[in-house]
Amino acid sequence: MPFLSTRSKLQLTEKEIEYLTSLSISRTKPMREIERAKILLLTYQGINDSKIAEKLGTNRQKVIRCIKKALAYGIKEAIDDLPRSGKPRDITAEARAWIISIACMKPKDFGYPHELWTHQLLAKYIQKNCVAMGFPEASKISSGTISKILGASNIKPHKISSYIHRVDPEFESKSVLVLHTYKKVELLKKLKNEGNDIDIAIVSCDEKPGIQAIGNKYPDLMPVAGEYSTVSRDYEYKRFGTLSLLAGIDLLTGIIHYKIHEKHRSSEFIEFLKEMDSYYPEKLKIVVILDNLRMHTSKETQKYLETVPQRFQFVFTPKHASWLNIIESLFSKMTRSMLRGIRVSSKNELIERIGQYLDEINEMPVIFKWKYKMDEMPGSIESL
C-alpha cells in the first residue's frame, strides 16, 4: 500500500509563483535560495518529496524542512534562514563595560606615551590587565573584537572632534545682543523695502591674519588629458611673509569693506574705521559687530572714537565665540575657494589677488543672513 502524506498541500498565489519562478532561474542569488525556490515550485506541482530530492540532487530531509517552513511561516521565511540565537558571548557584559571605560580615558593615564588609543594598543592593555581586574575571558581579545565592542557603543577613542569651550561668563547676554543685532538687520531690510529711510548701517567685521604669501620654487605642471589628471607641484616652496586682511560686510547691502596690511594693529584698525566713516553718510550710525581683540578697545582706538562721537557703536561677540560673527562665513568660503593652494610671486601679487576676489564679490554683493538659533532667541528687538 503506497504511503499517503498527511501534510497539507502548499498553496501559492500567482504573485508567489512569479516570485519563486524568478528566483529559481536567478544567476546572482545564493544557491541555497535558488534550491529552496525550486523545492517549493515542485511540491506545488504535486511531485513528492523523494522525487524532488532526487531531481535536485539533495536529500529528502532538506526538502521536508523547506516545505514545513513554508507551511508554518510563509514563502519568504522558507527561502530565508530563520534567525538563530548565535554563539554565546565569550566576554561578559561587565568585562565589556570595563573595556569601554578604559577606552574613555587617555593612554597616558595608564603609562603609555600615546595621546589616543588604537584598537591594537587597547587590546594589548586589556590582555595584560584583564586577569587582575577579574575578567580572564578577555585574555585573548583581538583588536577586531575591541572594534566591535566600541562600535556597538559608538565610542571612537582614535578620533578627535572639535568643540568650543565657553570661557566667557557673560556668553548668554552677549550672544543675545549679537542675535538681536542680526534681528535688527531683518527689520531694517523690511523698512527699506517699504521705502523708509534707514539711519543705521550694520557691519560684521573681523581680521584674518597670517595669510601666507608662498611661491613655487619650480613651476606647476598642469593636467594633460589622457595622461595626468591633476596639477603636479614640487614640494619645495618660497616664503615671502604673511598678510592680514581686515574686512567688514555691510549686512544690509552685502558690500565688503576691506584693508590688506602686513600687520594688524590699532593704527590699521583706525584706518579701516576712517574708511567706513567716509563711505557712509554723516547721518548714519555705524554699528560694528566684532570680537574683543585688544586693538578694538585700545587707547588709540578710543581716542579716535572720541573724535567722531555717536558715529560708531561696537557690539562685541563673547570671548572665544568668533563663530557668532557672520563675516567668518566669508573668510571660510574665501579660504576654501580662493586661498586654498594659492601660489604667488610676491606679497604684492597676493594683495592684488585678494583685492580682485573681494572686488568681484562687490560687483554682485551677496547679503549674508544669520539663521542659527534665531527662532530660539529670547526677548524682543532692542533699540540700538
One DSSP character per residue, 309-327 reads: TTTEEEEEPPTT-GGGSTH
Question: Whose grid coordinates read 527561502?
Answer: 79
Smallest CA-to-CA distance from 331 within 295, 358, 313 is with 358
CA 163 to CA 56: how far, in whole Å?
62
CA 191 to CA 314: how far, in whole Å?
23
Checking if the pLDDT of 164 tops 70, the result is yes
CA 212 to CA 347: how far, in whole Å?
9
Checking if the pLDDT of 356 tops 90, the result is yes
Rounded average pLDDT over 31-60: 90
Rounded average pLDDT over 256-276: 92
Q: Which grid coordinates belong to 161? A: 572632534
Task: Band the pLDDT of 383: cuts 50, 70, 90.
Answer: very low
Q: pTM for the full model?
A: 0.65
Direct distance between the N- and C-terminal alpha carbons of the chain, in angstroms, rounded to an integer: 104
Smallest CA-to-CA distance from 326 within 218, 240, 204 is with 204
CA 335 to CA 331: how far, in whole Å?
6
Rounded to the nearest integer, the mean pLDDT of the chain is: 88
Task: Band the pLDDT of 381: cuts 50, 70, 90.
Answer: very low
Query: With contact defined as beta carbons under 8 Å apart, do 69 and 82 qualify?
Result: yes
pLDDT digits (tens, 9 = 90+) for 207-216: 999 999 999 9
Rounded average pLDDT over 157-179: 84
Checking if the pLDDT of 197 tops 50, the result is yes
Smallest CA-to-CA distance from 43 within 83, 78, 77, 82 is with 78
The Cβ-side half-sphere exposure at 46, using a 13 Å CA radius, reads: 0
Checking if the pLDDT of 2 tops 60, the result is no
Task: Band the pLDDT of 196: cuts 50, 70, 90.
Answer: confident
N residues, the chain: 384
Checking if the pLDDT of 378 tops 60, the result is no
232 Cβ contact list (under 8 Å, min separation 6): 220, 221
Helix (H) or strand (E) holding 267: helix 266-279
Checking if the pLDDT of 384 tops 50, the result is no
Q: Give the pLDDT of residue 4.
A: 60
CA 215 to CA 348: how far, in whole Å?
12
Looking at residue 300, its amino acid is E
CA 197 to CA 181: how far, in whole Å?
18
Burial (CB < 10 A; 0-12, 13-18, 19+), residue 259, is middle
Rounded average pLDDT over 332-353: 93
Q: Give the pLDDT of residue 320.
A: 82
Task: Band the pLDDT of 86: cuts 50, 70, 90.
Answer: low
